[in-house]
Chains A and B, each alone.
Chain A
């Protein structure tokens, strides 16, 4: 039977968690060997994606993306991080910052599959819709 990438990812994660410190190095080599034996090496990219997903889910980590038109100072970032933690009830947050001039101002925060859009461009668009209706 064909093994799905999700199943590979989960197996890898679980065996990694269960293994003792010394064995941990060995596990990765073994895993790649199994992939080779199963002729599934081409799935590696997708397994990596699924593995990070499993990892985040189990460790309660949330990936967040903050896009803004201008650079955000540390103080604002701290406020945002606190807010995201509060909303998503995650232990850890992995933040990626992006610069997007098209937003004109304000920030767009994405975490998990949620989005908080308070950019100037979106607000202007909403204003336009309000006026045209």
Chain B
């Protein structure tokens, strides 16, 4: 940018003044008849549109709202801001615009509220563009089947519940069980994977979000991540719009042909905030007091996740919605709704968690409806039987408790299963690259771990990865690049594992 002299500034201002459209337009106006709890009832505004933005002219400046109800003689709206500043009788003007949020590259690395205003004290955000928060999901002709993998870096997930770019995979489980941890690990693992991330915190404790942001910052993940925060103390209206505005920010990148990962943490709180708004607007309550359109609330949000085909830029939005269940009850209203909308779920179980199997993924109930088409060929080859083996182990283990007389085959399966369970264990914030996962799974599924004691499996795994990194660098990077596992590669893997076993004398 050239240095501006004073004359330039004056000239520019002159131009702006000359071009400013100062014609007054005919506008719609109404008056506040009722206000409170984040909602408002307004008289007048006879030609206002649904979801139109309203400007409340309060004494302490303008506050914006969104129309949600059109009744005979009155209009119901949610207030996006401090509703205590609005008085009865205040003027309201219809803006003839749908609610929009700033989008663009400048939002990367920032923490913003659902309206795109910065919350991280890093200065103003210059928006390149504005996107409406509500948009109709891409249609059939613009889409393509999901086939590229998202590497979560979590062994249990990448092997058995593969997630593809453009998929919607639900993370479901009780409180305090590691739902957010899976999502955050996935974000951390997207480094260098050509992925932009959006983390939408709906009704989360600000302390929790602060520690997440600090962690992402530490891992260098904020370089490609935007955090949209509607905290627990924000009004319900903010919580309600936050997933939509996060999606709008993601759509900007998807439209440019990039891949985006978006995490909604969590949609149960989103549904609760929508219930609050609906009840205050006197919409009739249905099951669990949720309004009738609570299914549409989530379906229209999650349908916006997609994989676009080449003609439409080839971008994608992968979403990881999170649902919190009460005492493991997956058959409550909101969980069943979201399960039926998404392309699969990762179910986390308290029992597993307290036994120390973390991440506490229940392999039996967790599924990915996209399946192995979202895995690289090498992973498909080594992990093909893993899910079956893990599921069989769970059944047998329950059965084997009754008697000790077991045939050889069953004993073998049990032993293999025990080792598998050990392999699935993984620390938080420690995602493992896919090629190293291939190495580990190759070792276990080909029986190289059967003669190692169960207690020592984790140390062996660590040593194996370490050994692979040092001695089979070329092989691993070849697997990573090509995604394939040729005969030759398998031989080399075999050699590596055997050599490692000898080197550490297991």
Contact = CB atoms under 8 A, between A and B. Distances in A.
Nearest to A113: B44
Contacts of B30: 113
Interface in A101-133: 110, 112-118, 122-123, 126-127, 130-131
Interface string B66-96: 0000000000000000000000000001000
Contact of B28 (A115, A126, A127): A115
A116 B22 contact: no
Nearest to A119: B24
Given A113-B46, A115-B93, A127 B17 contact: yes
A48 to B, nearest CB: 16
B29 A126 contact: no
Interface residues of A, number: 15
Given A113-B44, A113-B45, A87 B24 contact: no
B27 A115 contact: yes
Given A116-B24, A123-B22, A110 B29 contact: yes
Nearest to A88: B26
A112 B93 CA distance: 13
A104 to B, nearest CB: 14
A116 B26 contact: yes
Nearest to A50: B73
A114 B26 contact: yes
Contacts of A116: 24-27
Interface in A55-69: none
A130 B27 contact: no
B473 interface: no
B20 interface: yes
A59 B27 CA distance: 24
Interface in B7-32: 13, 16-17, 20, 22-30
17 contacts: A113-B29, A113-B30, A113-B45, A114-B26, A114-B27, A114-B28, A114-B29, A115-B28, A115-B29, A116-B25, A118-B23, A118-B24, A123-B22, A126-B20, A127-B17, A127-B20, A130-B16
Interface of A: 87, 110, 112-118, 122-123, 126-127, 130-131
